[in-house]
Amino acid sequence: MCSSAISLASTALSSQLRRSPSLPPILRSALKAQSSIYTGRCFAPRSITCRRIDHRRRSAMASTPIKVSKGNQEVLIFENEEALSVSLAKLTAELSEKYASDRGAFTVVLSGGSLIKSLRKLSESPYVDSVNWAKWHVFWVDERVVPKDHPDCNYKLAYDGFLSKVPIPPGQVYAINDSLSAEGAADDYETCLKHLVNTGVLKLSTTTGFPKFDLMLLGMGPDGHIASLFPGHPLLNEKQRWVTHITNSPKPPPERITFTFPVINASANIALVVTGAGKASVVQKALGSDNNSSDLLPVEMVSLDEGEFTWFTDKDAASKLPNASL
């Protein structure tokens, strides 16, 4: 780039920053770090590495995320949840195409919570017609042990909000057996997974021997829990089981089943969807620089053996990420 173009680009960016006083600190820091490329200074916040920022047009901010990374985790920060949902659908459709053509099946794991609403674009054009839904196999990272028509049921949430709108074969949607106890339902679900390994639908990790799902679509609670793995709970240390149960969940209802960390960490891909200001403090702890290994939140225990871990956040959830002064 010639020097006059460098100067123009730098001036345009400074002007963009001045016009965007409401940008949260991480967005301003990342934009400033990008502008510093032109001046040789670095304003990247501690422990967050700027990778690539597309800020050519202000309007592009609506759909193009700020991309930062921490270790092998990529963090995408969207202007709002609408832009996030567009990108989440695109990633999911791309992975569906890849795994369906590579191995004839696409194994997808869902959580409950607000994630399901963020999947809405998949049941709209173009994805509703273009995705090869016949290859999908759908699982739950956790489920509340309640009847399938109960308002607390994660299966019902996903069915009403997503699964009823796309043509996945019903026999490839693996809900828990809600007539069993929590312990029985966890055992039954693990048996189901082992059967699907035997039939070739589900792969095993060649490094750990745990099931390797193609994509886990997860949410995170404001306390940093993922699945039904809650801060300080002994289940965080489960190393043998694929699926286990909890009868004292701090988030109601108390009886649940959940995948264990060895299964979560064997995933080929995780998309963690975290939105809203209520999650900002835990996002700050999880992605900040002062992590103490004796005090890890469940979300900080996600460490993929060999997969891709991507955070999908909005600017409210990312608003407390470490800041460099402007």
Ligand X SMILES: O=C(O)[C@H](O)[C@@H](O)[C@H](O)[C@H](O)COP(=O)(O)O
Binding-site ranges for ligand X (CB under 6 A): 111-115, 142, 144, 154, 219-221, 225-227, 251
With CB atoms as reference, the residue minimizing the distance to ligand X is: 113
* Contact indicator for 10, 35 with CB cutoff of 8 Å: yes
How many other C-beta atoms are found inside a 10 Å radius of the C-beta of residue 168? 20
Taking the complex as a whole, the smallest distance from the CB of residue 206 to ligand X amounts, in Å, to 28
Taking the complex as a whole, the smallest distance from the CB of residue 115 to ligand X amounts, in Å, to 6
Closest to ligand X by CB, 161 vs 323, is 161
Residue 298 per-residue DSSP state: G
How many other C-beta atoms are found inside a 10 Å radius of the C-beta of residue 90? 13
Of 275, 228, 277, which Cα lies nearest the Cα of 254?
228
Closest to ligand X by CB, 95 vs 217, is 217
Give the Cα separation of 32 and 29 in Å (integer). Answer: 5
Taking the complex as a whole, the smallest distance from the CB of residue 149 to ligand X amounts, in Å, to 16
Closest to ligand X by CB, 286 vs 324, is 286
Taking the complex as a whole, the smallest distance from the CB of residue 265 to ligand X amounts, in Å, to 16
Closest to ligand X by CB, 48 vs 119, is 119
Taking the complex as a whole, the smallest distance from the CB of residue 12 to ligand X amounts, in Å, to 37
Taking the complex as a whole, the smallest distance from the CB of residue 152 to ligand X amounts, in Å, to 8
Closest to ligand X by CB, 227 vs 266, is 227
Q: Is the four-CA dihedral 220, 221, 227, 232 of positive or negative sign?
A: positive
CB neighbour list of residue 52: distance below 8 Å, 6 or more residues apart: 67
Closest to ligand X by CB, 26 vs 274, is 274
The DSSP element (H or E) to which 104 belongs, if any, is none
| Token code pair at residue 200 | 């070739």
Give the Cα separation of 107 and 137 in Å (integer). Answer: 5
Give the Cα separation of 273 and 76 in Å (integer). Answer: 10
Coil/strand/helix, residue 197: helix
